[in-house]
Structure 1
Amino acid sequence: MAAEPEIDFSRAEATRASMARDLSSRLDADIAQAVARADSPDWHLARPFQIVPSWGDLRGPAGPVDLPEAWRAGLPARVDAEEDLVQLYARVLVSGSPAEQAELLHPQRLIDAWPALTELLPPPVSGAWENRFPELSG
């Protein structure tokens, strides 16, 4: 039986580092730093997450959330249960544009859901949100 070829991970590490450097010129500094972290999923380099510019931009509903079709996968059209809200918020924090975040996230509900969200979110995402918005660090 032939021996398995040795895998050279140093090339993969160099490629990841190069991608992170390239992103640093195109992203807000806090997001670029988060996606360059060693514990950041590689897919963040291909599709980095985004964050609304200011806390005041968040104007989502304080009550049930009527979801646009694009966000409904596995969720009801009208989100009112806490566990569904946490799932929705996790998706929006990781994949939503700043405009979608502004439309769907409510500031107080985000604070209330934050402990559960930090269990679901990749650490670079939760860390970047907490760094930008101290309100979440409670």
Structure 2
Amino acid sequence: MRFEKCLILMLMLAVVITSCSSYKKQNVTNSGKPNIVIIYLDDLGYGDVSAYGATEIQTPNIDRLANNGVMFTDGHASSATCTPSRYALLTGVYPWRNKDAKILPGTAPLIIDTAQVTIPKMLKKQGYHTGIVGKWHLGLGRGQVNWNEHVSPGPTK
């Protein structure tokens, strides 16, 4: 089972890295490694971005990223809801294999074990700096956290 998880994560990472290999030189960091940006949104349809044909709303910044990066034209989701889908993306594990990988309340504990292999951990081993901006929705701390104190574990663990 552990081998399957590592294999799935490695395949996902290989797709991302090889997709970035055609970047122009100006898109490569000083370390020689390509930048990797994953934009993950809830409720965004294929035709909602002008790079993919939307006409009602213009998305020039996303279009610029699409024109200078990789455009996916055959997408699949591991789940139709946010928490399980994010869980699968980060861990490479089907969400139905973890009973806690369901839509979580704001008071839920972190559902990704801090020892779990994840895309950010794999990238860090390769010398990347990783970060997250926006919605996490994978739980924080040990549940029922005091928001006036340091909350851990979380996305940085």
TM-score, scaled relative to structure 2: 0.24
Higher RCO, 1 vs 2 (CA within 8 Å, ≥6 residues apart)? 1
Hey, which of these two has a bigger chunk of helix by percent?
Answer: 1
